[in-house]
Amino acid sequence: MTTSALPATPIDLDAANRQLADADAQRIIRWARETFGEGLAMTSSFGAQAAVMLHLVTRIVPDIPVIFIDTGYLFAETYHFAEQLRRRLNLNLHIYQPEMSPARMEAVYGRLWEKGLEGLNRYDQIRKVEPMQRALRELNVTAWLAGVRGDQTEHRAALRIVEKSTEVYKVHPILSWHRQDVDRYIKDHDLPLHPLVAKGYTSIGDRHSTRPVKTGEDERAGRFRGLKTECGLHLPQTVEEAQSRDGSGL
C-alpha cells in the first residue's frame, strides 16, 4: 500500500453515522472501502472470535492489510491460531512488534502488569499503542476497521459506527452485534474458535493478564486483572480527542 486514500475533504461524521445507522456489517465495510480505498486497513488480535471480522471483511476486501500487534507475551495458542487463519483466509498479514524487547522492558521497568493500573497503562503504551501507531504510519492507513461491539464495555457502548482517532478514521462494522450474533455467524460459516475458548477463555490477550471467566461473569472480566477493560487501542489517544468525544455526548 503506497498511496493515501484520505478523502479530499474531511468526512462529516454526523452525516456518515446517520447514513449507516441501519446498515448491516457488509454495507458498512463496502462504504469504508469506497470511501477510503487503499487507505483502509483492519486490525486483529486473533482473539476468541477473531475469525468473524476477518471472514466478514476479506470476503469484501480480500487484500486488505491486516495489522497484528505481537506484544511478545501472547499465548502459544494465539500464534498458532493466527497462522491457521492466515492460511485459511489468505490474509495479507502485517505483524508489528514493540521496539523494546520483553527482556529489556522488564529490566528497565520490571513486571509492569503486576504494578497496578499505572503499570498496565504504561505496558499497553509500550507494547500495543506504540507499535499500532507505527503500523498506521508505515502502511499509510487513513481508516481502520475494528471488531469492537457495543455490548462489551461501557466505553464501547458509547462509540459510533464511524469515529476519528487523531488523524485516522475508525469504522466499527459489528458495533451493534451481540454475542449471539457472533456465535451465529461462526456456526453459519463453520469458522474456528481460538483454542483457549474451550478452556473457559472468552476474551484473550497476553498470557500474564488473561484468565478464564467464571460462570455469570462478563466476557471481558478475565482481562487486565480486573483493573480495566480496554488495552488502549480503542481509547482516545489525545486530551483533545477525549474532550471532543465528551463534548459530543459519546
Confidence of residue 242 (pLDDT cuts 50, 70, 90): very low
- 41, β-bridge pairs: 144
Query: Does residue 210 or residue 109 have the better pLDDT?
Result: 109
Catalytic residues: 231
Give residues with Cβ within 8 angstroms of 90, minimum separation 6: 58, 62
Q: Which of 55-59, 92-96, 209-213 has the lowest mean pLDDT?
A: 209-213
The tens digit of pLDDT for each residue in 158-185 reads 899 999 977 899 999 999 999 899 999 9
The tens digit of pLDDT for each residue in 1-42 reads 334 455 546 899 999 999 999 999 999 999 999 999 999 999
| Rounded CA separation 76/193 (Å) | 15
**Per-residue model confidence (pLDDT) at position 157:** 85
Of 91, 45, 30, the closest CA to residue 65 belongs to: 91
Phi and psi for 52 in degrees, rounded to 5? -65, -60
The tens digit of pLDDT for each residue in 214-228 reads 766 666 566 655 554
CA diameter of the chain: 50
Q: Does pLDDT of 241 surpass 70?
A: no
**Per-residue model confidence (pLDDT) at position 226:** 54
- C-alpha cell recorded at residue 138: 508505515
Element (H, E) at 181: helix 179-188
Q: Does pLDDT of 46 surpass 60?
A: yes
Confidence of residue 203 (pLDDT cuts 50, 70, 90): confident
Give residues with Cβ within 8 angstroms of 135, minimum separation 6: 67, 69, 94, 96, 141
- 40, β-bridge pairs: 143
Tell me what the mean pLDDT of segment 104-122 comes to: 94
Q: Where are the domains of the chain?
A: 13-247
**pTM of the full predicted structure?**
0.83
Phi and psi for 56 in degrees, rounded to 5? -55, -50
13-247 folds as: Rossmann fold (3.40.50)
| Rounded CA separation 228/191 (Å) | 29
